Amino acid sequence: MDVYSTTSSGRLDESIPLIGAPVVIFFTGGAWLIGYKMWGALLARALTAAGMLVVIPDMRNYPWGSVPAMVEDVEQSIQWTFKNISAYGGDPEKVVLAGQSAGGHVVCTALLRMAMKLQSANANDRTKVKSDEALEVSTEDEMWRPNSVKGFLSLSAPYNLDSTQKSFSSHGLDSDLINRIFGNKRQEFDPYHLALQCQRENRKLSEFLPPIRIFHGTHDKTAPYQDAVQFTKELNKIAGNEKEITLSLYDGWSHTDPILEGPMDADHRFHKDLFDAVAEWTNSTSQLAWPQDDSVITSSLCPRILIKAGRYCMPF
């Protein structure tokens, strides 16, 4: 787990630590196979310049862990942050979650499953709670709650595994491999199917979910944006009108443009959208400032022709 910070003055020669800074926990993608925490370094570079503290955990990749284990890793990372982030200058009452691709999928799954568990316990429906061993966590245990975080931003995530199977297969992830990656519990860890299950069971999760903003590129060939559109509709049905669930599309952007090719070329649209959400959700508008004139934001990291070549060769 990496913790990225900066000084409150924004100057490296003035070692004034951050105090009570908003916190973003960012979970990277990697098709549940090749994810690595350093993939979030460009995001951390931008957000720390804006005065935020960024936590980027690793989670187990397959075959060292299946998706159920990855959900556990996400939960432990969030709980660690709540317990320890104040020692790094972060405010545990101003924590926002974000995830890209597989990272967004796993966080979304963790939020929905925990919300379902809490909703069942709140309704004294012990039969349903005990029917799924993965949800057998006492509400009396010291554990984070989905509505303890101020919000969740999901980027380029696969929400419907059945719909995206064709895309997965084109990348060498056939149905049998996906089933193994998911510990043969595919539908139990599929956000779209969890949303449909909640509808069948007449569950309303507005009390237990944080605000959620979904972002997706319209040229995403790995996780088609149409699935994000449909998932947002289904999620709104169980979240209720009082809970913010929104979708924003980046016209022309691919699966990785918002976090890789874009920032490399000084296009920080997603980072700015994340900044705006954090400032709003944590009531930190006066505490934070987008560094619009900082070279971190205004400078490309390499010649544009190399970025174009990288985008052309990108397999996702």
Q: Tokens 């796993």: give the residue.
A: 106
Q: Give the predicted TM-score (pTM) of the model.
A: 0.91
Question: Average pLDDT for residues 206-233, to the nearest whole number?
Answer: 96
**Domain ranges within the chain, ordered by starting residue:** 2-313
**Can 255 be counted among the known catalytic residues?**
yes
**pLDDT (tens digit per residue) in 269-291:** 999 999 999 999 999 998 899 99
Task: Give the pLDDT score at 128.
Answer: 47
**Can 91 be counted among the known catalytic residues?**
no
**pLDDT (tens digit per residue) in 45-71:** 999 999 999 999 999 999 999 999 999
**Among the options 193, 216, 255, 268, which is catalytic?**
255
At 124, the pLDDT band (50, 70, 90 cuts) reads low
Question: Which has more confidence, 310 or 276?
Answer: 276
**Among the options 77, 101, 156, 284, which is catalytic?**
101
Beta bridge partners of 248: 215
Structure tokens at 43: 């995001």
- Which of the residue ranges 7-11, 109-113, 248-252 would you say has the lowest mean pLDDT? 7-11
Distances (CA, A) of 151 to 126, 191, 237, 314: 28, 17, 18, 30
At 12, the pLDDT band (50, 70, 90 cuts) reads very low
Name, in order, each residue with C-beta under 8 angstroms of 51's C-beta and a sequence gap of 6 or more: 6, 8, 10, 18, 21, 22, 287, 288, 289
At 133, the pLDDT band (50, 70, 90 cuts) reads very low
At 176, the pLDDT band (50, 70, 90 cuts) reads very high
Check pLDDT > 60 for residue 25: yes
Whether the Cβ atoms of residue 49 and residue 294 lie closer than 8 Å to each other: yes
**pLDDT (tens digit per residue) in 238-250:** 998 778 999 999 9
The DSSP secondary structure of 190-224, one letter per residue, reads -HHHHHHHHHHTT---TTT---EEEEEETT-SSS-
Instruction: Output the CATH code of domain 2-313.
Output: 3.40.50.1820
